[in-house]
Chain A
Amino acid sequence: MEKRIQKVLVANRGEIAVRVLRTCRDMGIRTVAVFADPDRSALHVQLADEAYALDGVTAAESYLDQNKILAIARKASVDAIHPGYGYLSENHTFAAEVEKAGIEFIGPPSRAIALLGEKTAARKLARSLGIPMVQGSADAFSKAEDALASVGDLRFPLLLKAAAGGGGKGMRIVHDRSEFASAFKMASSEARKAFGDPRVYVERYLVNPHHVEIQILGDKSGQVVYFPERDCSLQRRHQKLVEESPSPIVDSDLRDRMGKVAASLASAAGYFNAGTVEFLVDDKGEFYFLEVNTRLQVEHPVTEAVTGFDLVKEQILAAEGRPLSFRQEDIPLKGHAIECRIYAEDPANEFFPSTGRLSVFRPPSGPGVRVDTGAREGDSVDVYFDPLLAKVITHGSDRRESLQRMSRALQEFAVAGLHTTIPFCKYILETSIFVEAKHTTQLINKGVLQEFLNQSLDPILLDAAAVGSVLLASDQRTDGNIAGAGAQTAWRLRRKEQHR
């Protein structure tokens, strides 16, 4: 039952919308963008063949509004919808509505999203297949008392996770019994707000694990292949910051074992299209099933770099009903790739989101460097959407080369007007703990942030920065005012006027 997809609606924004649009156009597929009011002039709109307004400001009024998106899909007569990641990508109701409308959902079938997206159901399925997992509650709860009762004799620390969750929202570590109730309340309230489902489940919290995940891809005939693993151990606030492939702690034996387990889980769930099975790996090389992400991941480009596949193209081919055009043994592992997520955040201020105008925005390029971004110089970064500005991906013949290349690329990346994670990523990648791959998911804590702020820098660089700071600060001083608290705003306004 193969059918050629001719026109795709990309139900997303930012770098992932741009990335999906580009592959569609590479394949000669006509593209439809949708946009919220603040994104009227965004890159993903400019790069599409057609674009439709969602007439809303917030995510809920725009990219999360299923009815608006379905109405546009019908009006534009698209034959497929690519959801990207986040937003509606893991919403099984939306996927089912798309299927019902006779439109291809470029992703797994809605029933597999429903099954695997519900964390406790996914864990039950994994347990029935004998997949190793961290001990935890079999069900999710909306009351702290019930959750605590279910824990039994599990030892603290424990981890609370939203049943419908992801992205670190609705997640809390509980160190002892006395903290349980308040932590549960916060996790549950965050879960309700982020996913519309207050239920939270409990599991034993592994101290200092590596986060390793397996990309899978299946066709509609039931064939599933797995790709080399990605190591996403460098996280802050339970959100990934740096990802690499292959993992420095996984050998080919472990790779095969994890890959086979991931593929077996996908097969049992009746999965097709792209997905990711996440695991924790402890210091003894034991791995534990974590969850399945039923969508394309933010960090998919590192897999593309080491295997040469275009995963979005493979997603579209799978959605067309074509059988996989390659076998498991045809998937290569070439060199090493690493990705840094560049967020508009201030690491010096506990990764507080940084808003403003990208008065300078010049991403790096050159050999072995890929940058996926939805931003351009002059764009404003506001509070409505995710603060991911860009992803920098470097590829090299080995880990040492891709890391060195990343340092070079981050040094080239010019951004003014906002705080970004560029200097923090560069710092952390050059620490011996990361270079020697001794880091775990716990690396980024207050201590590391302090070290980042107090790092010893080359004395000449410090002198040069002093000169640069004086030149940049004195530029505002030309009006001769010793201004008060409102000066920053005044300064920003003046800058805007100059660039009109």
Chain B
Amino acid sequence: MNERTVTATRGGVRRTIALSDRKAVIQDRSYELNLTHSDPFSVCFLMNGSVFNVYCIRVMRLPSGEADAEVLINGSYIKYRISDHRADLLKSMLKTLPGNTGIVEIKAPMPGLVSRIECAPGSSVEPGTAILILEAMKMENDIRASFHGTLREVRVRQGQNVEKDEVLAVVEISSSVASGPEP
């Protein structure tokens, strides 16, 4: 491991983290670090002698270059937004682009059956607006918008079976951060 500095943000609190082979410095707190296990899905380490087992639930890369990491650590769920200097640079460059708007495709998070369309093209949506209902795993799941905007298109019809990642609807964002709300 080479020394590198990244930031991790949760609940509006940003932590600057510098990692080296045997040390983690988080803000002004310095820990002795001893990595005891590492595979693509989990890491185990000692921090000042305390044992931590961290399992990767999901890592999601964002268009901004940041990543959302969701982990299971000692039985607790914690989500961080991870950013490095490169992502920070990209983000500040994106901010200077005119009109922070865009077209976003809403994709099926899993295969399922479109049981109902809740929203007509042309209507405005806001975070939490149900666009349609996808039936999967015997449950009806609301597919919601996560930003303010206008529903431009619904690409599926009621009763249609859809695959994972199939585009369900298209929304034009009116105001949003390109990377979504911070965890």
Q: Which residues of A pack against B, CB within 8 Å?
A: 59, 169, 190, 193-194, 237, 347-348, 350, 352-353, 355-356, 359-360, 382-387, 407, 410-420, 422-424, 426-427, 454, 457, 460-477, 482-485, 487-489, 491, 495, 498
Contact = CB atoms under 8 A, between A and B. Distances in A.
B177 interface: no
Interface stretch (B61-69, B119-127, B147-155, B168-176): B61-69
Interface string B114-149: 000000000000000000000111111110000000
Given A424-B77, A426-B76, A472 B43 contact: yes
B156 interface: no
Contacts, number: 189
A416 B41 contact: yes
Given A468-B43, A472-B69, A348 B79 contact: yes
B45 A473 contact: no
Contacts of A169: 138
B61 A471 contact: no
A476 B59 contact: yes
Contact of A466 (B8, B60, B141): B8
Given A194-B138, A413-B75, A469-B80, A463 B15 contact: yes
Interface in B13-37: 15, 17, 19, 24, 26, 29, 31, 33, 35
Contacts of A473: 59, 67, 69, 82
23 contacts: A169-B138, A193-B135, A353-B141, A359-B40, A360-B41, A383-B112, A383-B136, A386-B137, A413-B75, A416-B57, A416-B72, A417-B58, A419-B57, A422-B72, A424-B77, A463-B15, A463-B26, A467-B26, A467-B33, A471-B54, A473-B59, A474-B4, A488-B61
A476 B6 CA distance: 15
> Which secondary structure dominates chain B's binding surface?
strand
Interface of B: 4, 6, 8, 10-11, 15, 17, 19, 24, 26, 29, 31, 33, 35, 38, 40-43, 45, 47-48, 50, 52-61, 63, 65, 67, 69-80, 82, 86-87, 90, 109-112, 135-142, 164-165
A103 B39 CA distance: 50
Given A457-B76, A491-B61, A466 B139 contact: no
A467 B78 CA distance: 12
Nearest to B13: A462
Nearest to B16: A466
A353 B52 contact: no
Nearest to B78: A465
B70 A419 contact: yes
B116 to A, nearest CB: 9
A169 B57 CA distance: 28
Contacts of B72: 414-416, 420, 422-423
Interface-centre pick from A383, A407, A418, A476 (highest chain B CB count, 10 A) = A383
7 tightest A-B contacts by CB?
A468-B54, A423-B77, A411-B75, A487-B61, A469-B69, A416-B41, A416-B55
A169 B77 CA distance: 28
A472 B17 contact: no
A482 B26 contact: no
Contacts of B43: 468, 471-472
Given A423-B76, A468-B73, A463 B140 contact: no
Given A411-B74, A413-B75, A416-B72, A491 B19 contact: no
Contact of A417 (B26, B56, B87): B56
A476 B110 contact: no
